[in-house]
Structure 1
Amino acid sequence: MYIVKVLVEHPVHALDTTFDYLSEKSLLVGVRVWIRFGYQKIIGYVENVEETHFSKSELEQRAGFRYQYILDVIDEEPLLNEELQTLANQLSRMTLSPRISCLQAMLPTQLKPSTHQTVGIKTQQVVHLVEGTYAKTIKQQECMAFLQEHPDIPVKDIPYSRALLDNLKKQGCIEIVEKEVYRQPFSIEHQSKHIQLTTQQQKVVDGILAHQGRVALLHGVTGSGKTEVYLALAAHYIQQNKSVMMLVPEISLTPMMVEVFRQRFGNQVAILHSRLSQGEKYDEYRRIKRQEVKIVVGARSAVFAPLENIGIIILDEEHDASYKQEAKPRYLTSQIAKMRAKTHHASVVLGSATPSLESYARALKGVYDLYELPERINQKPLPQVEIVDMIQETRQRNYSLFSRKMKQSIQQTIDKGEQVILLLNKRGYASYVQCQDCGEVLKCPHCDVTLTDHRSEHKLKCHYCEYMIDYPHVCPHCGSTHLKSVGYGTQKIEEEIEKIFCGAKVIRYDVDTTRQKNGHLKLLERFRNKEANILLGTQMIAKGLDFEDVTFVGVLNADLSLNIPDFRASERTFQLLCQVSGRSGRGQKQGHVIIQTYNPEHYAITCAAKHDYIAFFHQEMQYRRKAKYPPYCHMVSILIQSPHEELIHSVAIDVKNYLLAHSQQTVILGPARSAIYKMQDIYRERILVKFLHSQDIYEALCVMNDYYNKQQKGKVRIVCDFNPYSQI
């Protein structure tokens, strides 16, 4: 008899403990099992197994409760290796998250400890020849000869009729069996080509290889050939029979990085990101677990890929906020990468044209090794950047969304047969809809935000809870028909472009147009094939895109990201402007960029226009030092949430008082209402805690987290977010 300690599938703090079940046979730690939990039949995850010599009735008498038996075992072997099981426990402690949520974050949908499973193993019928048999007719003999040359060929690919195959089967000449096959997310031809690295690139590669097990920051301007450095490093570690993890921030960048790696390394590459079908994800995960691949390319969650013997982990665009997981467990990808690298004695490479201030500061202190690629490949010049003051445009009675210089540059680029990229970091048609008679603004009933006009669908949408209504004909407050859309988003700009510019063909690239499977890839392929000459999009277009004929980039409102109430607003604006500027002039022709802004003197904008990261770094670090923000401290954001508005502020005050009494060397800001006070019918207040050492605050946070999330069920929920990237 065995006592099996099981985590249940529900990722809530109140159930973040193991429950004891019985089994007649020993089970492996890390497999999934079917269990009876209350009145439900659910899936559990085996955490521990202990042999016992007591009977069921003796155990029940000693424990004071009734034991149940495991209903069934789902897996033959553990889902996660020992390294990842240990990492899940560390992640749970580090982020104050339920252990089961950490396990679920590591696995594809079909393997999560969860009863929601939809896809299984894909099979196809193949034909096996039976040795020592002979066909009767000439046609059957021809078919047998064909099958001899093509072993294990799928039935659907055999150029003979099904009736002929059935006859051969009856005669005992062949067997038709089901064979497991993998779903293929991408089919890219393997082109094993050798690229000669520049002297500077080779110096970087040699330096990283000479310091195995270190963290390296690769600061290279846009177009400096960072990808070739990644490929050279990957090739080295594959030759050493080690595996490689290549991470990118955006799903839209993953297919392009996969294409580059697949062309160089063929079927040794697997891909993991959330836009794959469930079946593709399942198959790619199993290929990795079976060690059939050496390289994993993917977005944030690919950092948990079950690779063995990792040689190097690379994070491209390491500064990007997409590397922060905003749902539990709230982890930072670079932190997980460093933890895995330590286990495998692997190197970590953080690459970016605009590194995060924290990373660059660590590199200057010698915590990371710093490598620079200060010039584009073949000394191609960086694009010329102009700043246009939109206040001056308004004074000269130009109320258009486009400055006169922007209009002129776009038209000239189109006329020359070249391509344009336009950035507006706001999707939808307009920011909000307002009644012109009573001034009412249409808001989401569940969130403290306005509804965004999506004109092409005739809908108003909330971008936080997906609430949606048809575009109204009358004001719900006063009944007036005088409703007006105020502000603008990518949909409205798309309309304006087609009206203003001669010969303009636009592709809009945002969350709304890329929802479908491989939507990113299809739109970018159309742009590459010159089916359009303007690519209009949100921040998704700012990174990683490489089109030779793009010679002009326009930023329509550089202030959108500057006006967010967040200490990283200037840094994000600078990074976004530098990244999108880098899309211009990557071919043989000189690039040109125009940035439209109402803050032309702001250092984030002026430094971006000069491509001067160092000047921006020193200016921003001065402000961070004065205000004691990262990298001069660590931070944890405490979000207090409740459906009961009358509770929220008093609990927030109690939390602050508790932290003041039980933590040392900390600075506590707040509580204050979150930028969005109500979201999905939940009221929200926030406290920010600055600290130098985690031991000063960690114990107090653990006690507080347990009290509100385990004991005060349903009334108030506390979310602790270490290294927060969002203050919304």
Structure 2
Amino acid sequence: MYIVSVLIEHGINRLSQPFSYLSKKEVVKGVRVRVIFNHQKLIGYSLKCQYTSLSAKELALRDGFRYNYIQEVIDEKPLLNDELVALSESMSKLYITSQIVCLQAMLPKTLKPKTVKTVTIKYQKAARVIRIGEGKTKTQNALYQYLSTPGTHFIKDLPFSSSPLNGLVEQGLVEIYDQEIKRQPQIAKVKQDCVVLTKSQQDIVNQILEKKERISLIHGVTGSGKTEIYLALTKNMISKGKNVIMLVPEIALTPMMVAIFKQRFGDDVAIFHSRLSEGERYDEYRRIANGEVHIVVGARSAIFAPLKNIGLIILDEEHDASYKQESAPRYTTLTIAKMRALYHHANIVLGSATPSVESYARALKGVYDLYELPERINKKPLPAYTIVDMANEAKAKHYGLMSRLMEERLKTTLAKGEQAILLLNKRGYASFVKCEDCGEVVKCPHCDVTLTYHKNDDSLKCHYCGFSIPMITQCPHCHSTMLKKIGIGTQRIEEELQKKFKDAKVIRYDYDTTRNKNDHMRLLEAFKKQEGNILLGTQMIAKGLDFENVTFVGVLNADLTLAIPDYRSSERTFQLLAQVGGRSGRGEKSGTVVIQTYNPTHYAIVDGAKADYQHFYKKEMEFRKMAYYPPYCHLVALSIQGKNDKNVEKAANDIRQYLDAHLQHVRMLGPAKLTIFKMQDIYRMRIIIKYRKSDELYQVLNQLDHYYNHKNGKVTLVYDFHPYTTI
């Protein structure tokens, strides 16, 4: 008899703990099991299995409750190794969340403990020779010779009918069997010549390899050759028998990086990101877990790849917000990378043209090793930039969406047969719809935000909860038909471009056009083949893309990110402008950039335009120090959420009083309503805690968690350590 400790998936916080079940056979740690819990059939995850000589009756007498038996063991092999199970325990404590939530973050959808849907191994019928001999007919002998050649011979591909095959099977010369088919993700095609590292690149590679268990920050301008350094480091690790995790922030960038790594390392590369089909993710996960590959390339979730013997973890574009998980367990990818690197005694490499202020500060202090690449690989200068003050455009009676200079540059670029990239960090056609009679703005009924108008399907959509309705013809408040669409989005810019420029072939690249599988790759491939000459998109196009024929980049509204009431607004604006500007002039032709703004003298815009990181960093650090924000402290955002706004407000005030009484060495902001107070019918308030040391803090937060998330029931507390945004 065995007692198995099982972690079940359940929505009630107080049940987020292991429960004991019985099994007549030993259950391997780390497999899924089917159990009965409170008369429900649930999927659980085995954490521990101990032998007992006691019977079920004796155990019930000893422990005071009756044990249930495990109904079924689902997996033959553990889904996660011991390292990742231990990591889930550490994450649970670090982020004050349940361990089952951490386990779910690590696994593909079809392997999560709660799933009932299963994706299995894919097979196809194949035939092979099993005995030497001859067929009875000429056709049978021809087929026999064909099947004797090397390789797998799938029945559907045989250039013979089923009759001779059945004859050979009846004679015992051939057998039909199931051959596993690996579902291969579609890979972008790249053509790269063999690259010899420059002295600067080689020096960085050598210095990183000389050190053990270190974090290195490569600060290199756009086009400085950081990817080649990643490839050289990876090659060295593989030669030593070590494994590598290569992370990129956006799914859009994953196919590009995968293509480059596949070209260099062939089938030794696995892909891991959320846009793969469930079957593809299942097969790639098995390849990784079975040790069939040494390199994993993917987005944020690839940090949990079940690789053993990791020697190197790389985070490209390390500053990017996509490395922060915004739903439970709200982890920071770099924090998880540090935990895995510590376990494996591995190195971490961070790369960016615009490092996060926190990372650069740590590098200057010597916590990280800092490497600078101040020039592009081909010695070409960064693109020339122009900042256009849109207030002056209005004074000159020019009210178009694009300034006169941007229109002129676009026209010249297209006339030369070159390509352009235009950035507007707002999707849709119009920002909102307003009644001109009563001033009413059409809002989402579930969130405190306006609905965005989308022209392609004539609908109003909420970009936060997904609520959608057909475009209205009357004001819901006064029933007037005087409705006006206000603001601009990528759909409207696309329409303007096609009207204004007869040679424009626009490829729009935003969330709406890249929802389906492989849309990212299809659109980028089309632009690369010059099937389009203007790539119009949101921030998704700002980083990682390399098109040698792009000579012009335009930013339509640089103030969008600057206007967000958040301490990172200036940093985000600088990074976005410096990154998107770096897409111009990466080939033999020189590039230009035009940035439209109403804040032409703001340091984030001026420094972002010319990619002057040092000046931006110095200025930004002054503000961070005055306001006491990272890197001068750590942050945790405590969100109080509930379906009743009064309950939320009362709990928020009570919690602030409790924190004031029990915390001494912190500073606090709030409670305050979030910028979007109601989202998906949930009201939300937030308290920001600024701290240096976490010992005292965790003790108090765990007490609050125990009361509100396990006993109270009226509100829920959500903890977000190192939040990327505080709005």
Aligned length in residues: 727
Partner residue in 2 for 1:10: 10
Partner residue in 1 for 2:651: 651
Distance verdict in 2 for CA 1:12–1:185, change over 3 Å: farther
**Match of 2:148, as an amino acid?**
Q
Partner residue in 1 for 2:250: 250
TM superposition shift of 1:556: 0.2
Aligned equivalents of 2:316, 2:616: Cα separation in 1: 21
Residue-by-residue CA offset, 1:322-368 (whole Å, 9 max, x unaligned): 00000101100011111111111111000000000000000000000
Partner residue in 2 for 1:53: 53
Aligned equivalents of 1:203, 1:115: Cα separation in 2: 49
TM alignment of 1:601-612, pairs within 5 A: 601-612=601-612
TM-score (norm. length: structure 2): 0.98
TM superposition shift of 1:13: 2.0
Aligned equivalents of 1:458, 1:727: Cα separation in 2: 33
TM alignment of 1:24-43, pairs within 5 A: 24-43=24-43
Say if 2:361 and 2:631, in contact at 8 Å, map to a contact too: yes
Aligned equivalents of 2:356, 2:323: Cα separation in 1: 12
DSSP-derived class of the 1:721 partner: strand
Aligned equivalents of 1:190, 1:521: Cα separation in 2: 12
Identify the range of structure 1 (225-234 vs 9-18) with the bigger mean alpha-carbon deviation: 9-18
* Pair 1:556 & 2:546 matched: no
Say if 1:188 and 1:262, in contact at 8 Å, map to a contact too: no
TM superposition shift of 1:726: 2.4
Partner residue in 2 for 1:260: 260
**Match of 1:616, as an amino acid?**
F
TM superposition shift of 1:51: 2.3
* Pair 1:203 & 2:218 matched: no
Aligned equivalents of 1:66, 1:619: Cα separation in 2: 65
Say if 2:9 and 2:16, in contact at 8 Å, map to a contact too: no
Say if 1:189 and 1:266, in contact at 8 Å, map to a contact too: no
Partner residue in 2 for 1:66: 66
DSSP-derived class of the 1:330 partner: coil
Identify the range of structure 1 (424-433 vs 152-161) with the bigger mean alpha-carbon deviation: 152-161
TM alignment of 1:65-84, pairs within 5 A: 65-84=65-84
Distance verdict in 2 for CA 1:464–1:296, change over 3 Å: same
Say if 1:190 and 1:262, in contact at 8 Å, map to a contact too: no
Structure 1 residue ranges without an equivalent (≥5):
none
* Pair 1:454 & 2:454 matched: yes
TM alignment of 1:112-511, pairs within 5 A: 112-187=112-187, 194-511=194-511
Partner residue in 2 for 1:726: 725
TM superposition shift of 1:192: 9.6
Partner residue in 2 for 1:614: 614
DSSP-derived class of the 2:456 partner: helix
Residue-by-residue CA offset, 1:674-717 (whole Å, 9 max, x unaligned): 0100001110000000000111311101111121111122x100
Say if 2:319 and 2:354, in contact at 8 Å, map to a contact too: yes
TM superposition shift of 1:580: 0.1
* Pair 1:573 & 2:577 matched: no
Aligned equivalents of 1:420, 1:289: Cα separation in 2: 43
Aligned equivalents of 1:392, 1:581: Cα separation in 2: 23
DSSP-derived class of the 1:560 partner: helix
Residue-by-residue CA offset, 1:11-51 (whole Å, 9 max, x unaligned): 55222111111111221221111101112111111122222
TM alignment of 1:683-694, pairs within 5 A: 683-694=683-694
TM-score (norm. length: structure 1): 0.98
Aligned equivalents of 1:474, 1:89: Cα separation in 2: 54
Aligned equivalents of 1:116, 1:640: Cα separation in 2: 32
Say if 2:382 and 2:591, in contact at 8 Å, map to a contact too: yes
TM superposition shift of 1:133: 3.1
Say if 1:42 and 1:114, in contact at 8 Å, map to a contact too: yes
Aligned equivalents of 2:573, 2:115: Cα separation in 1: 43
Aligned equivalents of 2:564, 2:163: Cα separation in 1: 69
**Match of 2:717, as an amino acid?**
I
Say if 2:508 and 2:537, in contact at 8 Å, map to a contact too: yes
DSSP-derived class of the 2:485 partner: strand
Residue-by-residue CA offset, 1:629-678 (whole Å, 9 max, x unaligned): 00000000000001011111110011111111222310011000001000
**Match of 1:264, as an amino acid?**
R
DSSP-derived class of the 2:422 partner: strand
Partner residue in 2 for 1:665: 665
Residue-by-residue CA offset, 1:185-231 (whole Å, 9 max, x unaligned): 03578989642001111111111111121100000000001001101
TM superposition shift of 1:59: 1.9
DSSP-derived class of the 1:669 partner: strand
CA RMSD of aligned residues (A): 1.3
Say if 1:673 and 1:685, in contact at 8 Å, map to a contact too: yes
**Match of 2:454, as an amino acid?**
H
Residue-by-residue CA offset, 1:137-184 (whole Å, 9 max, x unaligned): 222111111111134321122221222212211222111111212100
Aligned equivalents of 2:222, 2:151: Cα separation in 1: 49
**Match of 1:706, as an amino acid?**
H
Distance verdict in 2 for CA 1:338–1:398, change over 3 Å: same
TM superposition shift of 1:236: 0.6
Residue-by-residue CA offset, 1:461-489 (whole Å, 9 max, x unaligned): 00111111000111111111111111010
**Match of 1:489, as an amino acid?**
G
TM superposition shift of 1:385: 0.8
Structure 2 residue ranges without an equivalent (≥5):
none
Aligned equivalents of 1:53, 1:197: Cα separation in 2: 65
DSSP-derived class of the 2:671 partner: strand
Partner residue in 2 for 1:717: 716
User: Quick one: percent identity of the two aligned structures?
Assistant: 58
Identify the range of structure 1 (241-250 vs 604-613) with the bigger mean alpha-carbon deviation: 604-613
Aligned equivalents of 1:110, 1:202: Cα separation in 2: 42
